[in-house]
Chains A and B, each alone.
Chain A
Amino acid sequence: MKQPSPPERNARDMIERPSGGPDVGTAAMDEARLLQQAIGVRLRQMFDEVVNEPVPTAFLDILRRADESAEQG
């Protein structure tokens, strides 16, 4: 089965489940660390999604009007 590309994978998919070895504590720590990595990836993705959106024209209109007002004042 083809693996999805990293940006489209969900965080839980990024966690490799332990195979049931004897060191349960280490496996749990590894899983927690991987979960934290997945959280980090998702956080940046969440933020970047908005950063990469087109800027609504209202922002530039407001700034343009303020600039014109400053020039006239």
Chain B
Amino acid sequence: MVDRSPRDPALDADFKAEIVTLIPHLRAFARSLCGDATSADDLAQEAMMKAWDARASFQMGTNMKAWTFMILRNQFYSEKRRSWRQTQLDQEAAERTLVAVDDPEAPLALDELRLSLGMLPPEQREALILVGAGGFAYEEAAEICGVAVGTVKSRVSRARRALQAVLEAGAYDRDGAAAGDAMGSILAEAERLSTVS
């Protein structure tokens, strides 16, 4: 963080050029948090504007990607605190996942994994996305999430095991269990795995 003129044209131009390159990554991270494309783009645009408004506090040459991701994440949770509907949507996504894997011929498709992610606790999902897809080191992910590095490692590990439980329970579901029963089994197994460190 440095003090400088917030309206230095040259620095603003550099800032703008760099943030433009990050827009695709902000959109992808937002999509992973929100689930649907429209809400995600709204979130990414808000985060981009917050970053622009706060550009005077950003030191060029440092990690703008991590900085903007942190802004986006904070914006997401700020909005989430104002609404509990996201929880319902996650549950609906999980139900759709079970329907999707009920077909014995259905492959483990990309959509299946995408929807399965919706069953994870948000803090596990974001840690897994940041490290497993976003290309961040554990240290960077910890900075973005505002937690210790060990916490991120633990969340990633739990997320992976929980996802595995979801996917394996999908196979169980094909053996004839009702979707509702399977849902309970999946969540119970995921919770059991998440408590085993």
* Chain A residues packing against B (C-beta within 8 Å): 10-13, 32, 35-36, 38-40, 42-53, 55-56, 58-60, 62-63, 66-67, 70-71, 73
Secondary structure at the B interface, as helix, strand, loop or mixed, is helix
Question: Is B80 interfacial (CB-CB < 8 Å)?
Answer: no
Question: Is B189 interfacial (CB-CB < 8 Å)?
Answer: no
Known: A10-B108, A32-B164, A51-B28. A43 touches B129 (CB 8 A): yes
Set of chain A residues within 8 Å of B23, measured between Cβ atoms: 55, 59
Of the residues A43, A48, A66, A70, contact of B113 by C-beta under 8 Å: A43
Which residues B15-41 have CB closer than 8 A to chain A?
16, 19-20, 23-25, 27-29, 31-32, 41
Q: Distance (Å) between the CB of A2 and the closest chain B CB?
A: 17
Question: Is B73 interfacial (CB-CB < 8 Å)?
Answer: no
Contact between B129 and A47, CB atoms less than 8 A apart:
yes
> Which residue of chain B is the closest to A31 with respect to CB atoms?
B168
> Which residue of chain A is the closest to B170 with respect to CB atoms?
A12
Of the residues A42, A50, A62, A73, contact of B28 by C-beta under 8 Å: A50
Known: A43-B129, A46-B110. A71 touches B160 (CB 8 A): no
Contact between B41 and A62, CB atoms less than 8 A apart:
no
Known: A10-B107, A44-B133. A39 touches B160 (CB 8 A): yes
Contact between A47 and B32, CB atoms less than 8 A apart:
yes
Set of chain B residues within 8 Å of A66, measured between Cβ atoms: 49, 52
Q: Distance (Å) between the CB of B185 and the closest chain A CB?
A: 18
Q: What CA separation (Å) do A57 and B89 show in the bound complex?
A: 28
> Which residue of chain A is the closest to B31 with respect to CB atoms?
A50
Contact between A63 and B48, CB atoms less than 8 A apart:
yes
> Which residue of chain B is the closest to A59 with respect to CB atoms?
B23
Question: Is B134 interfacial (CB-CB < 8 Å)?
Answer: yes
Q: Distance (Å) between the CB of B160 and the closest chain A CB?
A: 6
Which residues B26-71 have CB closer than 8 A to chain A?
27-29, 31-32, 41, 44-45, 48-49, 52
